[in-house]
Amino acid sequence: MEFDYDKSVSNAHLEAAGWGMDAFNHSNPFESHVIYVRDYRNDHIRLFTIKKADFDTIKLPLHLTSDM
């Protein structure tokens, strides 16, 4: 397994701030958008990542508007 400096440093900073990066295995953090979602009902906050290239290819369904 190759050492990924950017990922290791990002992981350490996020964990120090209270975020877990357990499932972040798919890319370099600098090539991703990081999104957090809060469930107010259960008071859970979850961190999600998506590659910028994948995010940019997401198509908005025609029945939805971008001003939602």
61 domain-assigned: no
The answer to whether residue 68 scores a pLDDT higher than 60 is no
The distance of Cα 26 from the centroid of its chain, to the nearest Å, equals 10
- Domain with 9 in it: 5-56
Q: Which tens digits make up the pLDDT trace of 6-59?
A: 777 877 877 788 776 665 556 667 788 888 888 999 988 887 788 888 888 887
Task: Give me the torsion for CA of 58, 62, 63, 66, rounded to 10°.
Answer: 60
The verdict on residue 34 lying in a domain is yes
Q: What is the pLDDT of residue 32?
A: 83
- pLDDT score, position 63: 84
Q: Is residue 52 part of a domain?
A: yes
pLDDT of residue 11: 76
User: Residue 1 — pLDDT band, cuts 50, 70, 90?
Assistant: low
- Given a contact cutoff of 8 angstroms between Cβ atoms, the answer to whether 52 and 31 are in contact is yes
Q: Give dist(CA 27, CA 50) in Å, integer.
A: 9
Structural domain count of the chain: 1
Distance (Å, rounded) from C-alpha 5 to C-alpha 46?
A: 24
Q: Is residue 67 part of a domain?
A: no
Residue 64 lies in a domain: no
